[in-house]
Structure 1
Amino acid sequence: MAPHAAPVDDVAHEQVDGIGPTGRTRRSIPDPPPLLHHGPAKILAICNQKGGVGKTTTTINLGAALAEHDRRVLLVDFDPQGALSVGLGVHPHQLETTIYNVIMENDTAVPDVIRKTMIDGMDLLPSNIDLSAAEIQLVSEVGREHTLVRTLRPVIDHYDYVLVDCQPSLGLLTVNALAAADGVLIPLECEFFSLRGVALLIDTIEKVKERLNPKLDITGILATMYDPRTLHSREVMARVVEAFGEIVFDAVINRTVRFPETTVAGEPITRWAPRSSGANAYRALAREVIAR
């Protein structure tokens, strides 16, 4: 397999005549209006059954960008690998209580497990490997697909957005996230193998909408790991826009050295490198998410 191209330098790649990387004219997105009150939250599942497409990176950085607009945000780590928790500087194996305890133990309340992050207005409901047991234990439970929505109900009025970082599979945990969500945000790596799996994901979303959650819609598809220097990235982008049209966000996340750095630092890119092109891309995404 050919190696990836070197990371794109951390500079904004300006597009001429208002044409963005998607090949479309950029839509005019107004600055979000101030809120008169907080809640109830809109729940977004950040979902793709393919691993390594930027789900966790998007959850962290979209959350931080929404918080910059005075939106209260809860990030839910719904992956037993605990990557979201690690990405915010939390050591999953040192946690005494996680979302697993809230789901499986009647005497553990969700407010007691939620943790503050270094970003004002952004909180974390952490996870670790214990959550993998929940998928097995929930199989015999009545109403097992709605466990997450019941878990979030006590805090939903406290937040404006709940972002659920899903595991890279279409198992029971992901179905729970889809059954709880108002919308799905699909990060899609700009390479052809990623395109092949999206049809299966969309089929799952349609089934969940039909059988479990009639309000579920696709909020948008986010192109990630885009390298404007390669023909491959540009061809995949054209295919994505052709296939999915207006639900593809104008915001595009370029491949950059900054994102691995932020994982090591345990901070969002909006804090680690606030003037970088990556930070500005997630701010643009936040404006689009609010506008939708």
Structure 2
Amino acid sequence: MGLAVAGWRRTNRTTVEKSLPRGDREAVVVAVAAQKGGVGKTTTTVSLAAAFARYHGLKVLVVDLDPQNHVHLALREQVEVGGGALSEILTDPSCTLEVEEIRASTSVPELFVTAPDPDLLHAEDGMAHRIGKEMVLRRALEVTRTHYDIILLDCPPNMGTLTINGLVAADTVLVPAQASMLAVSGIDGLFRTLDEVGAQLNPKLGLLGVVLTRVDGRTTTSNRDVKDL
């Protein structure tokens, strides 16, 4: 019986072949993550992406993992028709598409995004029973990253499965936080998650830094908070 089972496994094991050819680049993958909303996470992501593309001539991809689809709202009319469903890649074990194959173009040269996907709202439920669910996005970026200079992952404002996928797929993490002692002290939980992901799932994960948002240089309070931080 043992030999029969072993033989069955060998003959039924398949190798996933990807149709997308490899490019000649190797993107730095940056996860932009925050533990709560309202800290300027998506604004930071989109602003960096546009600056890299417009002023530095880099080929940039923004992967919108946030079910609120705020990347599309931030870019407004700049997102052109095209793209497919990221949720299909994340939830369907039989889907072998790369993110590059479902991305949409924008009116900004060299800036590409994943299209708005309302089904992301239910993606975590759909991923619940997937084996290796934390690694799905990483695998779907394996070839995609060879077509870009920078890939920015706009993660949901929580530490759920979608955010964990972003952290596992990333080389480094950028953490937006409001310029106040209370807000910055509240990201300890995020740092604990980064440590856990680094220890168990992505040992190469680095911390790019914490970027202070909603800074008003005209006020004494804001300037004092920045100085104290």
Tell me if both proteins adopt one fold, taking TM over 0.5 as the criterion. Answer: yes
Q: Choose the corresponding residue for 1:130, options 119, 122, 139.
A: 119
AA of the residue aligned to 1:210: A
Q: What is the aligned partner in structure 2 of residue 58 from structure 1?
A: 44
**1:41·1:160 contact (CA, 8 Å) conserved in 2?**
yes
Q: Across the two proteins, how many residue pairs are aligned to each other?
A: 203
* Offset of residue 64 of structure 1: 1.1
Q: What is the aligned partner in structure 2 of residue 219 from structure 1?
A: 208
**1:47·1:186 contact (CA, 8 Å) conserved in 2?**
yes
Q: What is the aligned partner in structure 1 of residue 170 from structure 2?
A: 181
* Equivalent position SS for 2:209: strand
**1:45·1:164 contact (CA, 8 Å) conserved in 2?**
yes
Whole-angstrom distance in 2 between the partners of 1:129 and 1:114: 15
Q: Which has the larger radius of gyration?
A: 2
Compared CA separation, residues 59 and 100, structure 1 to 2 (3 A): same
CA deviation map 1:143-202 (0-9, x unaligned): 111111111123110001000011111111111100110000111111233112211111
* Equivalent position SS for 2:202: coil
Q: Which runs of 5+ in 2 are unaligned?
A: 1-22
Whole-angstrom distance in 1 between the partners of 2:77 and 2:218: 36
TM-score (norm 1): 0.65
Q: Choose the corresponding residue for 2:185, options 196, 199, 203.
A: 196
Q: Choose the corresponding residue for 1:100, options 87, 111, 120.
A: 87
Whole-angstrom distance in 2 between the partners of 1:222 and 1:174: 18
Whole-angstrom distance in 1 between the partners of 2:104 and 2:120: 17
Q: What is the aligned partner in structure 2 of residue 71 from structure 1?
A: 58
Alignment RMSD (CA, Å): 2.2
Whole-angstrom distance in 2 between the partners of 1:103 and 1:90: 27
AA of the residue aligned to 1:224: T
Whole-angstrom distance in 2 between the partners of 1:65 and 1:209: 29
Structural mapping, 1:1-292, within 5 Å: 39-67=25-53, 68-89=55-76, 97-105=84-92, 106=95, 108-240=97-229
Compared CA separation, residues 91 and 104, structure 1 to 2 (3 A): farther
* Equivalent position SS for 2:141: helix
**1:97·1:113 contact (CA, 8 Å) conserved in 2?**
yes
Compared CA separation, residues 108 and 167, structure 1 to 2 (3 A): same
* Offset of residue 95 of structure 1: 8.1
Whole-angstrom distance in 2 between the partners of 1:60 and 1:227: 20
AA of the residue aligned to 1:175: I
**2:97·2:140 contact (CA, 8 Å) conserved in 1?**
no
Runs (4+) off by over 6 Å: none
Whole-angstrom distance in 1 between the partners of 2:118 and 2:185: 29
AA of the residue aligned to 1:44: V
Bigger shift: 224-233 or 107-116?
107-116
CA deviation map 1:242-267 (0-9, x unaligned): xxxxxxxxxxxxxxxxxxxxxxxxxx
Q: Which runs of 5+ in 1 are unaligned?
A: 1-36, 241-292
* Offset of residue 91 of structure 1: 11
AA of the residue aligned to 1:103: L
Whole-angstrom distance in 2 between the partners of 1:166 and 1:129: 15
Q: Work out the percentage of aligned pairs sharing the same amino acid.
A: 34
